[in-house]
Amino acid sequence: MGKSVLVTGYSKVPAKTSAADIYTVMGVCMEVDVETGNILEADCTLVTDLSKQFVIKLLKGEKLTDISNLEEKFRSNYQGSAKKALVTGMKICHDRYLKALENRKIL
């Protein structure tokens, strides 16, 4: 088994944003260490490079298992219109990570 898993979460993009002109959903993607829960890499479907890089900095190195800490980081630091969509995508990633851990135990 590999030491990491790729998880994705998608949510509806808020209307009347630049992202909505390009995407119908917001995607959040993370590579997570299965043993520690650390987010090794991250990406999202925001339009501007600065926004994407900011989100990556918020996520990278954090523990996906500590979802309440991640939510607080986004509420405090990300003031863009896609905040709710990003947090929803992040929560879905969290759920998929936990499901991946369960699946690994079965194998």
Is pLDDT at 26 greater than 90 in this prediction?
no
Q: Could you tell me the pTM of the whole model?
A: 0.88
The predicted model gives 25-41 an average pLDDT of 95
Q: pLDDT tens, 40-51?
A: 999 998 888 999
Q: pLDDT tens, 51-103?
A: 999 999 999 999 999 999 999 999 999 998 889 999 999 999 999 999 999 98
Say which residues have a Cβ less than 8 Å from residue 86's Cβ, sequence separation at least 6.
11, 26, 28, 44, 55, 74, 78
The per-residue pLDDT for 15 is 75
